[in-house]
Structures are given as structure tokens and as C-alpha cells.
Amino acid sequence: MKKRLVLLGASGSIGRQTIDVVLAHPRQFEIVALSVGHQIPVLEEILSRLAVSTVCVEEKSDAQRLRKQYPQIRFCAGDEGLETLAALRGYDVLVNALVGFVGFRPTLCAIRHHHDIALANKETLVVGGELITAAVRRYKVRLYPIDSEHSAIWQCLRGNEKKSVKRLIITASGGAFRKLPRSRLKTVTAAQALAHPTWTMGAKITIDSATMMNKGFEVMEAHYLFDIPYDSIDVLMHDESVIHSMVEYQDHSVIAQLGAPDMRLPIQYALSYPRRLPLAQE
């Protein structure tokens, strides 16, 4: 049966790659509603490829103008609009590809309306992990990780008992400055920080990768996603970005998930779970 998706953050890196996955598997997935913030030209390009019923933009003025251009689509705006999308009936999974704290409220709203979540918005768990995990338990929904590191851990845990886990090992690429001497960090530029050597990601995550702030967020995210104590979560530098993360068990066996640095893989795994679908290589 085809999964019906609501996609928040469709104009960003994760959002656009989610659309790629959906279009590659039209029999498995369908996007019924999406949000794009301020990126109206990107929205127009997306609407030329997808038929959706509801769209959220940031500004009310944009929503009013777009209603005339696309009379068959319902438009809403702002934070209230994001929650409107999250609360829609008749869809299966909310894909949260927003950036920052703005992703928290629609995630909680979707959970309260009994929708599963495919989560790329790590700030949702960083700022409100206890609230989100409590809601997931209360409303009996599923929380699927999209971040490559957490998808890797999720895959490595599959088929094993959590009580047998010794530690989670989150790998870190180190970002653009991983081999730069500390003495030179005072003169680096934003353009240099955005030139990630292995991954193609959105600007905020790429900057956070260069400062390693992103890895701190990911440790917090892993704690809430897998209910593992912080003392049992380690970070390991891995320049090549081939091993996306590992799990060590009590018998000292280590299971790792390897793959190309392609975010479509964890996106597709979250959407197709527990199945695996073909993924075209770029």
C-alpha cells in the first residue's frame, strides 16, 4: 500500500532529496502536503513535478498570491500553517526536514494526531527530547531517524536486544577544517566552512559540521532515539565518511553500517522500513 507523506522543509537539501526518493518510487510513496518557507521559486518548480493538496509558506502575503495561481491547492502560512499540515488526516508519515527549533511544534502536533515521524530535524530532540519520546510512547507512534549516523545505528541495532548493547559509536567527518591547525582557525571564512569534503548538505548543517557542533547535537539525538545513557555514546573521527556509525555489544562484537555519503539512503530506509528498495547511484 502506498505511503502518504507530509514533507516539512521541501526546499532544503533533505527535502529535495526526499522528493527524489518519492519520484523514484511512485508506487510506494506519495507526498500529499509540503512546506517551503520563503523559497517560492523552488516551490513552483516542485509543484510542476508533484500534485499536492496543501502547501505551507512562511509569509501570508505569499499564500494569498499563490491561492490565485494554484486554486486547486490549499495554502497556509507560518508556524500555524506547519501545525495545520502536521494535523492533517489521511497521511501516514510526517517527514520533518526543517532546520532549527521551528521543527519542534509540528513534530509534537503530528505525534498527537497519531502520525509516525521520519525525523531529520535534530533540534526537535535537542530542545525537547523528553517531551517527544514521552509523546511517542503515549500515542503509540514510530519515530524513524533520517540523520545518516542515527539511521546507521538503527540498522546496526536491528535484530539485537538493547540490553546487550555496550556502546554506540557515532562517526564524525570533522567537516571542512578537520586537518587544519588550530592556529589557522581564526582566519577561516564561511565559504571555506561550507566546502565539506565528503557530504553535500544544507548550509546550517555544513557549518555545524565544520565547528563539530553538529556532533554534539547528534549525541543528544542518539540518547533520546535509542534510550542509551550518554556515558555509553562515543564519537570517533572518520575522515572518509564510509562508516556512518557503529554499535559495540557486550561480547565486544562491533557492527557497522557502511555506504556512500548519500542522504537518499537513510531517507529511503526511513520511508520504506522494514523493506529495502533499490537506490539508483548518482
**pLDDT per residue over 3-16, tens digit each?**
999 999 999 999 99
Biggest distance spanned by C-alpha atoms of the chain: 63
**CA 180/CA 185 separation, integer angstroms:** 7
| Collapsed DSSP state (helix, strand, coil) of residue 92 | coil
% of the chain with per-residue pLDDT over 70: 99
pLDDT of residue 240: 87
pLDDT of residue 282: 64
pLDDT of residue 239: 85
**CA 209/CA 196 separation, integer angstroms:** 8
Residue carrying C-alpha cell 547511484: 281
pLDDT at 205 over 80: no
**CA 245/CA 152 separation, integer angstroms:** 5
The CA angle 98-30-42, to the nearest 5 degrees, is 50
**CA 43/CA 46 separation, integer angstroms:** 5
132 C-beta neighbours (distance < 10 Å), count: 21
pLDDT digits (tens, 9 = 90+) for 68-107: 999 999 999 999 999 999 999 999 999 999 999 999 999 9
Element (H, E) at 160: none
pLDDT of residue 192: 82
Inter-residue contact 116 to 142 (CB < 8 Å): yes
Average pLDDT over residues 38-56: 97
Q: Are strands 165-172 and 233-237 parallel, antiparallel or unpaired?
A: parallel
pLDDT at 179 over 90: no
- Our CA dihedral for 132, 138, 139, 140, rounded to 10 degrees, sits at 100
Q: How confident is the model at residue 153 (pLDDT cuts 50, 70, 90)?
A: very high
Mean of pLDDT over the chain: 94
**CA 182/CA 171 separation, integer angstroms:** 21
**CA 43/CA 48 separation, integer angstroms:** 9
pLDDT of residue 201: 72
